Amino acid sequence: MKLFVANLPHKLEEAELKKMLTQFGQVASVKLKTDEAGKRKGWGFIEMPVEDQAKAAIAALNEKEVHGRRITLKAAEEKEPQRRYNNFQQRNGTTGMRTVRSTETDGEFATPLLCKSLRLKI
């Protein structure tokens, strides 16, 4: 089970966090996020292969004070994939390109919004 941990003290080491969690069961990995300079951001992810052990760790450690901070420990939520739009779509609030037929030719044309911004007649 993948867990999310937040509000960690910046001086807390991964090994120390792993030691806290191993009293509840097997810990596969602990990954604390850092910025480009290597400074910890105060949050990370933990993998515990046995779900019951992970739930026991959550029950015991969520909202527990560690080095003067109340940490948050909960089941990690699956992240929805981000949709990527081009700059034109983001600026104009469109969510996808639609095609319309030009009245002057039989070829496909761009969106009506694009035609309007380019001052094209459709």
Average pLDDT over residues 50-73: 95
Residue 102 maps to a domain = yes
Residue 28 maps to a domain = yes
- Label residue 38 by pLDDT band (50, 70, 90): confident
- Label residue 23 by pLDDT band (50, 70, 90): very high
What pLDDT score was predicted for residue 79? 77
Rounded Cα gap, residues 122 and 57, in angstroms: 63
Residue 82 maps to a domain = no
Average pLDDT over residues 26-44: 92
User: Do 32 and 57 sit in the same domain of this protein?
Assistant: yes
DSSP string, the chain: -EEEEES--TT--HHHHHHHHHTTS---EEEEEE-TTS-EEEEEEEE-S-HHHHHHHHHHHTT-EETTEE-EEEEPPPPPPPP---HHHHHHT--S----B-SS-SSB---HHHHHHTT---
Q: Strands 29-34 and 69-70, how do they pair?
A: unpaired
The per-residue pLDDT of the chain, averaged, comes to 79
pTM of the model: 0.64
Higher pLDDT, 71 or 96: 71
Q: Which domain holds residue 105?
A: 88-117
User: Do 66 and 12 sit in the same domain of this protein?
Assistant: yes
User: Do 60 and 95 sit in the same domain of this protein?
Assistant: no
User: Do 66 and 9 sit in the same domain of this protein?
Assistant: yes
Condensed to tens digits (0 to 9), the pLDDT of residues 77-122 reads 887 776 665 555 555 555 555 544 444 444 454 455 555 555 555 5
